[in-house]
Amino acid sequence: MQAQFRLAGTAQAHVERGEAVAHRAGECAHGVYRVTVQLLLVRHALPLRSEPGQGSDPALSEAGLEQARRLPEALARFPVSRLLSSPQRRAVQTAAPLADALGLTVEIDDRIAEYDRDLPQYVPIEQIAAENPEELQRLVNGQLPSGVDEAAFRARITAAVDDLVAAGDHNETVAVFSHGGVINVLLHQILGTARLLSFHVDYASITRLLSSRTGRLAVAGVNGVEHVWDLLPGNQRW
């Protein structure tokens, strides 16, 4: 069974159908609604910055560790039976509290790593504006950073999710710890958005995807952040 990243009708209709399933069925959107696999896409928590030459794989900051510690309670209502993570430290560390709480092993899949995994430095997006306005503008325009092979990036993410859905047991819920770019690509391919990077995806946020028995993916919720609202850098002004 292959996950099918195509629209049934318009993108808006697809979103409305996904929301309807989520609202009617609550957290267990299986059974009568023919949903077989629920994917909880969790963006990694707030990482540290790395300097040039240190690579793009920093650990979580203190605020990020606190964000990660809140995830077990935030996800407690979901029957999570499997944990999957990007190999990058910020994703693996974000998964750790939930793994400990559930007694599950975190499986690593290189294909859901972020587009920056081979870059020489990691700079949180909040700091990019002052240091590299050209790259920030690309992100604002919905484009990947220069030098990233978009086709290869999209292909490996699609392959990872195809395999995940195909291997999923009936009524399975999988928590997938990954990155903002990865989550945006999935939403773009499901909803057919005009821009590749169309959604603001916060640190430690939760995005829900539902897979039908035929492998079709629908969006049930995007960027749930109630559990970390007070810890997000962009919300300090509120």
- Amino acid of residue 220: A
Whole-number pLDDT of residue 237 = 56
Over pLDDT 70: what percentage of the chain? 84
Q: What is the dihedral of CA 177, 2, 145, 183, to 10 degrees?
A: -30
Q: Please list the residues that pair with 210 across neighbouring strands.
A: 38, 218
Is the pLDDT confidence value at 22 over 50?
no
Say how many residues make up the chain. 238
- Angle in degrees, CA 97, 127, 202, rounded to 5: 40
Whole-number pLDDT of residue 146 = 82
Read off the pTM: 0.83
For the chain, give the longest Cα–Cα distance: 53
Whole-number pLDDT of residue 54 = 82
Structural Rg of the chain based on CA atoms: 17
Tens of pLDDT, residue by residue over 48-71, are: 988 888 878 999 999 999 999 999
- CA separation (Å) from 155 to 18, 58, 71? 24, 25, 29
Question: Across all residues in the chain, what is the average pLDDT?
Answer: 84
Between residues 20 and 212, which one has the greater pLDDT? 212
Tally of CA atoms within 13 A in the half-sphere of 152 that contains its CB: 7
- Structure tokens, 206: 């939760």
Burial class (CB in 10 A: 0-12, 13-18, 19+), 176: buried
Sheet holding 35-43, edge to edge: 106-108, 80-85, 172-178, 35-43, 206-212, 217-224
Neighbours of 62 (CB within 10 A): 9
Distance, in Å, from the CA atom of 76 to the CA atom of 165, rounded to the nearest integer, reads: 22
Average the pLDDT over 107-117 and give the result. Answer: 95
